[in-house]
Each structure stands twice: as C-alpha cells, then as structure tokens.
C-alpha cells in the first residue's frame, strides 16, 4: 500500500512509513534525502463492526460531463514549467514532449507497474472508512482528541476531492487553478464565501506556489492530496480543524500534524504485518475480498501477452514485501511472480527515482526481510528499496540496448508519474479513476473537442471527483465570474496531468483488450489539452 491517507509529510525531521517498512538507514529520513516525504497508507479495525465506525461513503453515482474552459495562453509543454509554476517542476520532460503525437506499448522495451490503485484496485466505499477509522481511533484513544471524530455521515464524504492542498499552519484547504491562484478554500470543512476568499487570497498566487523549490506535493508547510489513500485523511484533518476550532475558542493555528504522523507510525511499524498488530493489516488479511478487486482475466491475459511479446515486466511498489505478496496473490494468483522479471518492494517512491545509488541502494530479501546491501543490480529478481539509476543499467543489459524505452503505470502524480518522467524520462501512464465513467466508449468515433464546437472534460465519478463542495477535479469557475465566458479554468491538478503524463486511463482493464500496437494520442503541446485521456472525450 503506498500512500499516506492522513496526508503524511515530514514533521520535525520525522518521516512517515509505508506499511511494514523499516526506517531508512544512515539518516536517510530527512526531507532532503527522502524527496520531501514518502507516504504510506493507514488502516483500522473492520469499519462497520468497530465502535464508532465511520459510515461508508455513498456508492458511485452516474457521471456527468462538465464543460472545459477555452484554452488559456500558456507556454508549450516542451517547456513544462510556465513562469508561474513551481520551479522544481521543469526540464526533464522536454525530450518526450517533442516526440511523436502517438504512444504505443509495442514500441516499449520495458513495462513497469505500481501496485496499489494501479494493478491492485481497491473497493473504495469499503477501504475509505477503513483508512479513516484507523487514524481517527488513534487520535481519540491515544492522543485525546474529541470522540466526535469517530462519527462520519455519508454526506461528510463529499468533502473528499483529489487535488486539494492543506495548509498545515492555519488548517485551510485550497483548490488551485493552473496559474497558482486559489479557486476555492475551506477552513476545516467550512467552505469560505466568495467574499472571504477574495479577501484572503485575491488574484495572487498561493503563498507556497512559487516559494517552495522542493517537490511540490509534500512540504513541512502543506500537503497535497493526490490519491485515494490520502482522501480519508483529508476528511479527518478537516474535521480535526473543526473540532479544535470549536473546543478551543476559535483556535487560529494548528499543530496536529505530529499526531497524524504518530498515527501512521503506530499502525505501520515494520513488524505490523507479520505480528498482526496495528489496525490495518489484520483487517485486510482477515477479509481481502471486502477491500480488494481481483484482476479480471483480461488483465492477466494482457500481462502474459506483454511477456510473450518480449517485454520486460517490472513491479515497483512502496509496499513492503509481505504486504505486496498478499495483494498480488489475491489479485493475480499464487503464480504472480512468474509474470514479472523484476519485483522491487519498499521502493520509497519518489526517492526511488530521485536518489543516487549511494543514497538508496538495493537490498536482498529473505523471507520478506531485508538482508544485504547490493553494490549494483546484476540480475533479475525480487529486491527491496533501490534506485532507478542502477535499475536502468540492468535493463540495458537485459535488452541489449543502450537506451531501452520504459513506460511506467501509476496512480500518484507525486510518487509515480512526476518522478518517473522528471528524473528518469520514462513514458508515464496515469491511472485516473475519475475517467471510469468514460469506459466503454469507442475512441475511433471521437473527434477533437474543438471540432465539436464545445469544451468538455473527462466524465467523472465519486469518491469524489465532482464534489458539491469542491466542484470538478479537472476544471472550475473563477469566483465572481461564474456566469461569464471567461469563468472556466483548468485546475493545477489537470495541468500536471497533461504536463507529466504520456496518457491517462481509468484502469488497466480499460486498455487490456487493445492490440499492443494500438496508437494512443499523447498529451503534447500540439494536441488539445484532453487529447491524452483514454477513452477520448466524446
């Protein structure tokens, strides 16, 4: 499992751990060494059976199209950083942006996959309350927070929307436009009025948008929620702000983040899976079918097809080895290891892509425990930690090519797509469940939106892509201009997708029955901003 549902970040030099992972050695837990935070998921006792269990979020509702804005003038994506974009997000994606207009798996030598929410899909209406309760119970029982945190209504889940940022100092959540200005904001779960929004932010860039020169999604000052493991934590943190504000006479500044990190450490010490301790692992082990979706036969067949076509298959996950094994055996079968040439667990992404071999060496494994540091990666196998530099050297030897072409599938912009593109210049496929409403469409019948004389975004489905509180993940209206032609703008999340993703798909299943030489239209400066979504908008 691989993200921090409660929204984990570096706090006072402390790093959060992914399930079953041991602390970094040689002081590699610092933000500078760890890529500004590597996240992990949370969990709790079976949600509906536990005392004070959170109510399950509403089941997905039918999706509906939402208008996309006219394109705003911006630099070509061959220069992935517009002048008003975070400085850290720049150069390495330029070579791919200048390539052909299409992308094909047949042209790739190596196909790599993240595990959680990529190969392994979770049953979100069940996994979200599980994650929420894991941390809520810790805060109430171990840190003395008000027990009201344990009660969640189905309506509360509307707050959860990917693409939000939490200001860790003042407890404010914000939604950014592609130019760094604030589109919507809330203090805790309480949405700010247009008047309050204008007074607090105006038309200026958000204060952290340009000043932070590190990785843009994680900081000691803010946290971006970019995946489904995070979202229950967004709701929890917002309700913590509500609770502290109510019970502490309008508290203005907050220091609860250290307790969130403590909750992660409490539930995910390295031995938790093996010892059956903590709240998350026992529940997943007890009833995996409640929380996990098995890979359909079409996906298993597709993986074998890739293998038979001579592709090298990689599995790179930040989950620890024992949890990875449980997931893969459930979703793919006991012979899952035969599908992959190289399995890398406890990869500590995004550091896997950004760190040098001396900072993040590979480790051997025995009985799912790390054993010895490897000076180099010399042969296929199952390893722990590591780095993309030494992996690529091995791929050169395995393919016999000086520059083998690698594509990597993942669901997190922060952990998967951005670092794989930015540091390794790999092709990247973003798994975006917000597109699941588009599955079943015929891309051959679709034409560019501009030719249709209208602007649309990819159709969306909750949990939660079209929130009543936050609007669409992809686009939004500028406050005060809702009824004008210039009101619709792309979100910062949407901009990052078409800057760092080769293509974006709703699931692996959505492409599993396509021929390997199928030509996907890639995101590029010369295509429409929705061109790289598959199925195409129609």
Max distance between CA atoms of the chain, in angstroms, equals 67
CA distances from 438 to 51, 461, 493, 527 (A): 38, 10, 19, 20
**Beta carbons of 224 and 278 less than 8 angstroms apart:** no
- Considering only CA atoms, give the Rg of the chain: 22
Q: Which residue's entry shows tokens 């404010």?
A: 172
Which two three-digit tokens encode residue 73? 């003038």
- Residue for token pair 């938790």: 272
* H or E stretch at 238: helix 231-247
For the record, the structure tokens of 244 come out as: 């502290």
- Report d(CA 184, CA 475) in Å as an integer: 12
The whole-angstrom separation of Cα 304 and Cα 340 is: 10
Contacts of 483 (CB under 8 A, 6+ apart): none
Tokens encoding 448: 């560019």
Cα–Cα–Cα angle for 126, 129, 130, nearest 5°?
80
Catalytic residue among 114, 178, 322, 341: 114
218 bridge partner residues: 223
114 is catalytic: yes
Active-site annotation holder among 24, 49, 109, 116? 116
Which residues are part of the catalytic machinery?
114, 116
């Amino acid at each position: 499992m691989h993200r921090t549902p409660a929204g984990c970040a570096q706090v006072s030099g402390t790093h959060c751990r992914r399930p079953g992972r041991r602390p970094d050695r040689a002081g590699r837990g610092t933000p500078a060494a760890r890529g500004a935070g590597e996240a992990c998921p949370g969990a709790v006792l079976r949600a509906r059976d536990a005392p004070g269990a959170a109510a399950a979020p509403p089941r997905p509702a039918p999706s509906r199209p939402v208008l996309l804005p006219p394109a705003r003038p911006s630099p070509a994506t061959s220069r992935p950083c517009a002048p008003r974009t975070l400085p850290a997000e720049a150069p390495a994606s330029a070579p791919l942006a200048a390539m052909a207009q299409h992308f094909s798996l047949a042209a790739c030598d190596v196909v790599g996959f993240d595990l959680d929410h990529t190969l392994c899909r979770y049953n979100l209406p069940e996994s979200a309350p599980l994650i929420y309760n894991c941390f809520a119970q810790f805060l109430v029982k171990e840190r003395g927070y008000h027990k009201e945190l344990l009660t969640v209504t189905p309506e509360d889940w509307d707050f959860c929307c990917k693409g939000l940022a939490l200001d860790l100092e003042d407890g404010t959540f914000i939604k950014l436009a592609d130019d760094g200005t604030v589109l919507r904001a809330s203090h805790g779960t309480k949405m700010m009025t247009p008047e309050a929004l204008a007074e607090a932010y105006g038309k200026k860039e958000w204060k952290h948008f340009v000043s932070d020169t590190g990785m843009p999604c994680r900081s000691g000052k803010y946290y971006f929620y970019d995946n489904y493991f995070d979202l229950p934590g967004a709701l929890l943190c917002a309700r913590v702000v509500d609770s502290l504000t109510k019970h502490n006479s309008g508290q203005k500044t907050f220091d609860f983040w250290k307790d969130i990190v403590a909750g992660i450490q409490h539930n995910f010490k390295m031995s938790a899976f093996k010892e059956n301790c903590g709240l998350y692992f026992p529940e997943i082990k007890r009833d995996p079918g409640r929380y996990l979706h098995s890979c359909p036969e079409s996906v298993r067949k597709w993986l074998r097809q890739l293998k038979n076509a001579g592709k090298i298959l990689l599995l790179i996950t930040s989950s620890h080895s024992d949890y990875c094994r449980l997931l893969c055996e459930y979703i793919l079968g006991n012979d899952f290891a035969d599908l992959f040439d190289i399995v890398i667990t406890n990869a500590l992404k995004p550091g896997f892509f950004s760190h040098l071999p001396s900072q993040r060496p590979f480790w051997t494994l025995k009985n799912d425990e790390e054993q010895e540091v490897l000076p180099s990666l010399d042969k296929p196998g199952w390893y722990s930690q590591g780095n993309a530099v030494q992996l690529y050297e091995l791929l050169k030897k395995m393919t016999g090519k000086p520059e083998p072409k690698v594509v990597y599938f993942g669901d997190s912009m922060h952990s998967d797509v951005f670092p794989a593109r930015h540091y390794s210049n790999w092709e990247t496929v973003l798994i975006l469940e917000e597109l699941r409403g588009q599955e079943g469409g015929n891309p051959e019948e679709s034409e560019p939106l501009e030719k249709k004389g209208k602007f649309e975004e990819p159709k969306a489905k909750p949990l939660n892509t079209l929130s009543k509180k936050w609007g669409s993940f992809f686009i939004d209206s500028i406050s005060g201009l809702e009824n004008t032609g210039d009101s619709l703008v792309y979100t910062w999340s949407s901009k990052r997708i078409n800057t760092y993703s080769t293509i974006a798909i709703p699931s692996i299943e959505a492409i599993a029955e396509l021929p390997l030489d199928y030509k996907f239209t890639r995101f590029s400066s010369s295509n429409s901003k929705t061109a790289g979504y598959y199925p195409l908008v129609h």
